[in-house]
Amino acid sequence: MATGVIASLIAVLALAFAEGMARFYPARNTWWRLRRMHGRRAVRAMRERFEALAAHRLFRILAIVLLGVAIGWIASASLLDKRWYEVVLDVLPSAFIGVALLRLPSIVQAMATRMRAYEREAGEDPDKELPGLEDDEGPSALAL
């Protein structure tokens, strides 16, 4: 029973971490530091990956699978020789993780929107292709 409580607390911390990422990452200084260290292309590619990740349905599917597992776990409470509230306490972390999975696309989209706004503030058009290297140039073309 104590492990269910500890797992629930860790799941709540994971949900709070994800919500904090939605509100604060990347901060303006962090975005500038990433851009300075890795370049405009890498930061733009990161934003585009975030936008692509937000469009996936994978998180919803994982949350549905987790819900099915939780329902199966609760339904088998009589076979587990546990009281119903002990089983619910064991399943409670899954509920928090399920909520985090359902919130993840909007969290990642919020981070991408913030990065898009920083690009506009830097004087770039986020929807326009960066000038410079073409598809057949650069480090990937040098690979043997």
The Cβ-side half-sphere exposure at 82, using a 13 Å CA radius, reads 15
In the numeric block, the tokens 């996936």 are attached to 56
- Give the pLDDT score at 5: 82
Instruction: Output the pLDDT for position 131.
Output: 67
Q: List pLDDT tens digits, range 102-130.
A: 999 999 999 999 999 999 998 887 777 77
Residues 68-79 as b or e (16 or more Cβ within 10 Å = b)? eebeeeeeebee
Alpha carbon of 37 to those of 31, 116, 121: distances in Å?
Answer: 10, 18, 19
Burial class (CB in 10 A: 0-12, 13-18, 19+), 104: buried
CA nearest neighbour of 19 among 92, 117, 101: 101
pLDDT at 76: 84
- The pLDDT value recorded for residue 141 is 46
Residue 142: per-residue pLDDT: 46
pLDDT along the chain (144 residues), means of 10: 83 92 91 90 90 91 93 84 82 90 93 92 80 54 46
Cβ–Cβ under 8 Å, residues 91 and 3: no
pTM of the model: 0.77
Reduce the DSSP state of residue 56 to 3 states and report it.
Answer: coil
pLDDT at 125: 78
